[in-house]
Chain A
Amino acid sequence: MFGYTMEEVGNIVVMQGFSGLSLFSVLLLMALGLAIIFGQMGVINMAHGEFMTVGAYTTVFMSKLAVKYEIVDSYFIFAIIAAFILAFFIGYFIEYLLIRHLYKRPLDTLLATWGLSLVMQQIFRSTFGAKEVSAELPEWLLGSFKPTPDIDIPINGVFVMVLALIVTVGVYLFMFRSRGGLRIRATMQNRIMAGAVGINTQKVDRLTFALGCGIAGVAGAAFTTISSTGPTTGSLYIVDSFMVVVFGGAASLMGTIASAFGIAQAQSILQFFMTSSMGKVSTLMTIVIILMMRPEGLFASKVRK
């Protein structure tokens, strides 16, 4: 197969599989936020990538502070929390200013949030410069461990994956096992009834949107461990994350996880055997074709609309 021995192909698949897992983790974190905002609320947030960038820049900023006060080993946890909080509050603010006026016009939200993403990108560029910056990573995130001499698994990838899994479980517990999640689901399913039983639906909207943005912020923090951050970093992931959510079936958490995994793995394994652009093209093409045959996505909830 392509001039490799079977053993080499096995090793490549394992290693590319692991590099796919870091992509999977970032995509999953992005898509979780988007699945809440787009899948639950029906708001097309084209600026979602920029919320990820907010998280990434927060982490970079925290790491600079950490270097100054020599706490590089332990700052990362705080950076993740700070990224979440900052993205959460910006999201809260944006919902209040912009999104809440457009709930009845979904296509217009798409355009308005695209405008927002342009503005945010320019803010990043003016504040942090056009150059890409990277965070100072703590010692324990660097390096890799080797189960066999030929296989090399980077630790930061494993860390990002664990983070993604924790956030996923957290989102699941929040959405399906808490009062807050119950309120969100009630409001999204039937706004009028939810209002009638005493839920403040506007507040729920605002918190839901902010929560989705906050998770995007966490995605940004995770992203800094595997790559450097620039003003347009987020926009590179926006189409992919939308494809993940749509492909998985907009309202399904399991679908989002499965499709993030599938897309990330397909991309990273194909990119090794073909050129990187062709790997991406063939993955996206496959998704589009599958979506044309099954527009409701892989794991659609069986609800009549």
Chain B
Amino acid sequence: MNTLSDKLLGGKQGAVGLAILALMLFVVFPLWLDLFRLGLLGKYVTYAFVAISLVLLWGNGGILSLGQGMFFGLGGYCMAMFLKLEASDPVSTKIQTTPGIPDFMDWNQLTEIPFFWQPFKSLPLTLILVLLVPTLLAFIIGYAMFKRRVGGVYFAIITQAIALILSILIVGQQGYTGGVNGITDLKTLLGWDIRTDSAKYILYFTNAGLLIACMLLARYILTSKFGMLLLAMRDKEERVRFSGYDVSNFKIFIFCVAAMISAIGGAMFTLQIGFMSPSFVGIVPSIEMVIFAAVGGRMSLIGAVYGTLLVNFGKTMFSETFPELWLFLMGGLFIAVVMFFPDGLAGIYEKYAKQFKVNELVSSYLAKSGKKVAKLIGEKA
């Protein structure tokens, strides 16, 4: 049991970091921010799913996927299709030529719901598909590429092309996908209104909980033997292969896991923001998400989450006040991180934390307060 918890939390240091993050997400932010800002934060947290998937895939596996946005988008679209079908019941769409189908289908002269929308009538099936569709796509791409030992740069370029294909396809097939506007006007989940204040809080907390759960899963993968192999593959792929491991299978597996984690983020995005559009699928969002992970630290799960939140808060603040400057800053940040801080915020923290012995301080403080808490509980009991 002890070893399992060690593996999940990544030792004392990892546990402390995770606890602080959880404290921020569950207590500090909800108390500090108003509902509007909290909604924004919720949106950023959904991007953090993609960032941690990139930590697994890119930081530890050395596989740079420039198509994580497409898994995020697919997860989001699966969720949005379910919500859209629920929002377009015959009563509320009775002014359409064909009542009971989503509005954009009606505008595009469709008279019935296309076959691939049918499974999204049921919630359990939708939830399965949210996870399954992106994972399956990742499996197909991964199988085709890694079995032929395509990696590195080529993999990055081809995933980018696939992301481009998917976004053009979604924009082009307006009648089936809602086109460039995406799927909008989502209202209820099984009759539960997702636009009320209380629903927003519930969704925010669910989202944060899922993020922590995904981080635990990722931590478990990284601290297991598989995580060691992943690192080994990144640094000396040939050597791992000659030791008798099937490198391609490991790569396919981690690519699928990363796709699934991104898809959860996408589905939560749709639920919280109430729409999904192709602007989250294409090349630009996919690369931006790589920026988040790079700024936070490509090797650190916790760093990637902070990186995502910081970059996005920066983006919101700057693009409100100096929209002109934002692209300079974003581009400059990117160049600077890559050139001078390849390990991102987490790397900087590690460097200075060692100097000032922050970790010892924090853990000794926590140990003390832990004893106090234990005493308190003991007294009450």
Determine if B331 and A122 form an interchain contact, defined as CB atoms under 8 angstroms apart: yes
Indicate which residue in B148, B162, B290, B331 contacts A118 across the interface (CB closer than 8 Å): B331
- Judge whether B247 is part of the interface by a CB distance below 8 angstroms: no
CB distance from A24 to the nearest CB of B (A): 19
| Complex alpha-carbon distance, A115 and B331, angstroms | 4
1/0 per residue, CB under 8 A from B, across A249-284: the answer is 000000000000000000000000001011011001
- Judge whether A142 is part of the interface by a CB distance below 8 angstroms: no
1/0 per residue, CB under 8 A from A, across B114-145: the answer is 00000000000000000000000000000011
Interface residues of B in 161-186 (CB under 8 A from A): 161-162, 164-165, 168-169, 171-172
Chain B residues whose CB sits within 8 angstroms of the CB of A126 once the complex forms:
324
Determine if A285 and B332 form an interchain contact, defined as CB atoms under 8 angstroms apart: no
- Judge whether A225 is part of the interface by a CB distance below 8 angstroms: no
Determine if B64 and A121 form an interchain contact, defined as CB atoms under 8 angstroms apart: no
- Judge whether B33 is part of the interface by a CB distance below 8 angstroms: no
Q: With A277-B171, A281-B172, A288-B162 given, is the CB distance from A112 to B157 under 8 Å? A: no
| Interface residue stretch chosen among B192-200, B207-215, B334-342 | B334-342
CB distance from B165 to the nearest CB of A (A): 5
Chain A residues whose CB sits within 8 angstroms of the CB of B324 once the complex forms:
122, 125-126
| Complex alpha-carbon distance, A246 and B333, angstroms | 29
Determine if B339 and A101 form an interchain contact, defined as CB atoms under 8 angstroms apart: yes
Tally of contacts, chain A with chain B, CB under 8 A? 109
Chain B residues whose CB sits within 8 angstroms of the CB of A110 once the complex forms:
64, 153, 156
CB distance from B76 to the nearest CB of A (A): 20
**Which residue of A118, A277, A285 has the most chain B CB atoms within 10 A of its CB atom?**
A118
Q: With A98-B339, A291-B158, A295-B154 given, is the CB distance from A115 to B334 under 8 Å? A: yes
Determine if A292 and B331 form an interchain contact, defined as CB atoms under 8 angstroms apart: no
Determine if B161 and A108 form an interchain contact, defined as CB atoms under 8 angstroms apart: no
Determine if A295 and B150 form an interchain contact, defined as CB atoms under 8 angstroms apart: yes
Interface residues of A in 146-173 (CB under 8 A from B): none
Chain A residues whose CB sits within 8 angstroms of the CB of B169 once the complex forms:
277, 281
Q: With A107-B64, A108-B338, A275-B172 given, is the CB distance from A284 to B165 under 8 Å? A: yes
**Which residue of A115, A125, A275 has the most chain B CB atoms within 10 A of its CB atom?**
A115
CB distance from A114 to the nearest CB of B (A): 6
**Which residue of B150, B157, B160 has the most chain A CB atoms within 10 A of its CB atom?**
B157
Q: With A114-B287, A275-B172 given, is the CB distance from A281 to B331 under 8 Å? A: no
Select from chain B the residue with minimum beta-carbon distance to A275: B172
- Judge whether B356 is part of the interface by a CB distance below 8 angstroms: no
Interface residues of B in 317-339 (CB under 8 A from A): 324, 327-328, 330-335, 338-339
| Complex alpha-carbon distance, A239 and B168, angstroms | 13
Determine if A246 and B154 form an interchain contact, defined as CB atoms under 8 angstroms apart: yes
Determine if B342 and A118 form an interchain contact, defined as CB atoms under 8 angstroms apart: no
| Complex alpha-carbon distance, A246 and B148, angstroms | 15
| Complex alpha-carbon distance, A157 and B28, angstroms | 62
Q: With A108-B342, A246-B157 given, is the CB distance from A118 to B327 under 8 Å? A: yes
Chain A residues whose CB sits within 8 angstroms of the CB of B64 once the complex forms:
107, 110
- Judge whether B152 is part of the interface by a CB distance below 8 angstroms: yes
- Judge whether A184 is part of the interface by a CB distance below 8 angstroms: no
**Which residue of A111, A280, A287 has the most chain B CB atoms within 10 A of its CB atom?**
A111
Chain B residues whose CB sits within 8 angstroms of the CB of A285 once the complex forms:
165
Determine if A111 and B334 form an interchain contact, defined as CB atoms under 8 angstroms apart: yes
Determine if A288 and B339 form an interchain contact, defined as CB atoms under 8 angstroms apart: no
Interface residues of A in 96-122 (CB under 8 A from B): 98, 101-102, 105-108, 110-112, 114-122
| Complex alpha-carbon distance, A287 and B160, angstroms | 13
| Complex alpha-carbon distance, A118 and B332, angstroms | 9
- Judge whether A44 is part of the interface by a CB distance below 8 angstroms: yes
| Complex alpha-carbon distance, A220 and B154, angstroms | 26
Chain A residues whose CB sits within 8 angstroms of the CB of B327 once the complex forms:
118-119, 121-122, 125
| Complex alpha-carbon distance, A110 and B160, angstroms | 12
Chain A residues whose CB sits within 8 angstroms of the CB of B150 once the complex forms:
292, 295
- Judge whether A242 is part of the interface by a CB distance below 8 angstroms: yes
| Complex alpha-carbon distance, A247 and B153, angstroms | 14
Determine if A107 and B168 form an interchain contact, defined as CB atoms under 8 angstroms apart: no
| Complex alpha-carbon distance, A277 and B165, angstroms | 9
Chain A residues whose CB sits within 8 angstroms of the CB of B165 once the complex forms:
281, 284-285, 288
- Judge whether B25 is part of the interface by a CB distance below 8 angstroms: no
| Complex alpha-carbon distance, A115 and B329, angstroms | 9
Interface residues of A in 182-229 (CB under 8 A from B): none
Q: With A117-B331, A239-B283, A295-B150 given, is the CB distance from A281 to B338 under 8 Å? A: no
Select from chain B the residue with minimum beta-carbon distance to A110: B156
Determine if B331 and A102 form an interchain contact, defined as CB atoms under 8 angstroms apart: no
- Judge whether B294 is part of the interface by a CB distance below 8 angstroms: yes
Chain A residues whose CB sits within 8 angstroms of the CB of B339 once the complex forms:
98, 101-102, 112
Which A positions have Cβ atoms within 8 angstroms of B? Answer: 42, 44, 98, 101-102, 105-108, 110-112, 114-122, 125-126, 239, 242-243, 246, 275, 277-278, 280-281, 284-285, 287-288, 291-293, 295
A-B contacts, 7 listed (Cβ < 8 Å) = A44-B153, A98-B339, A115-B330, A118-B327, A118-B328, A119-B328, A239-B283
The 5 closest A-B pairs by CB, nearest first: A115-B334, A277-B172, A118-B331, A119-B331, A122-B327
